[in-house]
Every structure is written in C-alpha cells, then in structure tokens.
Structure 1
Amino acid sequence: MSMMKIVKLNKSHGFTLIELMVVVAIIGIISAIAYPSYMESVRKSNRSEAKATLNDVAQRLQRCFTAYSSYDDYTNCSVAADLQNNKSIDSENNYYSITGVLNATTYTLTAAPVSGSIQGGDSACTGFILTQAGVKSATGSNSSNCW
C-alpha cells in the first residue's frame, strides 16, 4: 500500500512537449489567417480618411470659386495656394497625400497613400480622384469598389 502512494505522489502533472507544439501550431495557423484579414479591414476603414479629405478640399475650393470666380486664385484662396506647384495636403492621420491640378474653371484632386504608412500596402485602392464636376474614380486592383 505504501508503494502505491509513493507512485501516485511522484506522478507529474502538466503538458507534454508534443501538446505544447500542437497548441503553438494552432495559434500560428490562426494568426496566419487572421492577421491579413485584420490588416485589410484596417486599410478599408482608413480609406474613408482619403474620401473625407478629398471632400473637404473640394468644398474649400468651391467656396473659393464662389467668392473669387476661380479655383486657381492663389492670392485669395489658401487651399489653392497649398496645392500650387504640385504641393500636397496631408490627411488627418497622414495616411494620404492630396494633390491637385487647378485652373480657373476646373480642378482634379488626387489622394495617394503615403509610402511607409499602413495604407502604402493597399493594392486594392491605390488612389482616389475627385473632379469639380463631382466625378469620382479610383485606381488599384479593386478600383470599382473603392468609393
């Protein structure tokens, strides 16, 4: 009887190396599937920043056109001056850079992802375009679903 007690007391409890390796493998597989999906979801939600910034710049240009009858009045219109000579306006979180081509009666605004930001790896929507006529377009592998 005392021998059985000794055996029971010495029996160890815990995980074997194989069990731990199986758990690590399962976590690795789940991570390999979940991380790309998570990153795509984050990129998709950040695209709204490009659209919002484009619309904001467009509204400011419309106010300039209403007040000064020209989109490219660089003296009186600060947003036009900001876009002059291929300068850019950065979005709120610096994920996108807005550039524009202006003349007296038309403009074309383009939002491009800032390289080095999380949006720099967005191949589905690599750019957003907005014109004074309200025409919206996009570039990228899934450009038809960007706007």
Structure 2
Amino acid sequence: MNSARHSSGFTLIELMIAITIIGIIAAIAFPAYQNQVEQTRRTTAQADLLELAQWMERQYSNGFDYRDAGNAPALPFTQSPQNGTAFYNISFSGNVTRDAYTLQAIPTGGQAGDDCGTLTLDEQGNHGAAQANCW
C-alpha cells in the first residue's frame, strides 16, 4: 500500500527566489529612503536658519546693531530640529559685526555624512552649502 502523498506548499528554491527578490528591492529602496530622510532634515535646518535670520533682523531693528552690547547675541536655539535629537548644530560663522553676520548649520549625528555639508545664511539672505543644489 504505497499511496502517493500530495503535499502543498513552497519548495526551497521558490523560497530562495522570493528572498532574493526581496533583498534586491530592499537594496534599491533603502538608499532612496535614506536620501529622503537627509533631505527632510536639511530642509528643517534651512527653515531654522531662516527663522534665526528673522530673529537677527528683529534684533537689528531695536538698535541698528546685530550685536548685543558689542558681542554676538545668544541665539534662541542652537540645534536643528529645535527639540529632540540634533542633526545640525547652529552657530555664527566668524564674528558678528554691527551690520553683518553669517549663521551656519553644521551637520552632526545621523546627518554628519550629508554631501551638502555645512549650510550658511548671511544678513543679506545669501545662502551656501558644499553643493549648489542643496538650497
């Protein structure tokens, strides 16, 4: 009594093919996701630099001087995003003078490998980064 047994399911080869396809899709999707995350963090830092530039203009309108008693003013926040894990450290680049300043956002932590590097913004609205397409 040798009856043939019919079993349903997947063969090992079918499973290996499915796993390979999933691996290829993941290898393509993950870098695209990482680029999108970096771009979102960069956009947040740019918005924070613009917010600080507006704050600096309000400071200037009080006494026609960007400085506070001859020194660089204390910024209301020094990281981006303003709350949570910092992906950019924000500070002044160089000296703040009576009529000029440059803000900079330096990538840190999970953003440290960003190709755009340090983002800058000055009192005239000129912005910069390591690459031209970053702003």
Q: 1:89 to 1:74 in 2, by over 3 A?
A: farther
Runs (4+) of structure 1 moved beyond 3 Å? none
- Shift, 1:121, TM fit: 2.3
Match of 1:26 in 2: 21
Match of 1:104 in 2: 98
Secondary structure of residue in 1 paired with 2:98 = coil
- Shift, 1:74, TM fit: 4.9
Match of 2:127 in 1: 136
TM-score (norm 1): 0.79
TM-score (norm 2): 0.86
CA contact 1:74–1:81 (8 Å) conserved in 2 = no
Greater fraction helix: 1
Please list every run of 5 or more consecutive structure 1 residues that lacks an aligned counterpart in the other structure: none
Match of 1:122 in 2: 114
CA contact 2:52–2:75 (8 Å) conserved in 1 = no
Match of 2:31 in 1: 36
Q: Distance in 1 between matches of 2:97 and 2:133?
A: 29
Paired-residue identity, %: 38
Q: Distance in 1 between matches of 2:69 and 2:32?
A: 44
CA RMSD of aligned residues (A): 2.3
Query: Which structure has the greater CA radius of gyration?
Result: 1
Q: 1:18 to 1:107 in 2, by over 3 A?
A: same
- 1:113-141: CA deviations, max 9, x gaps? 12x22x22212x112111111111111xx
- Shift, 1:72, TM fit: 1.2
Q: Distance in 2 between matches of 1:46 and 1:72?
A: 29
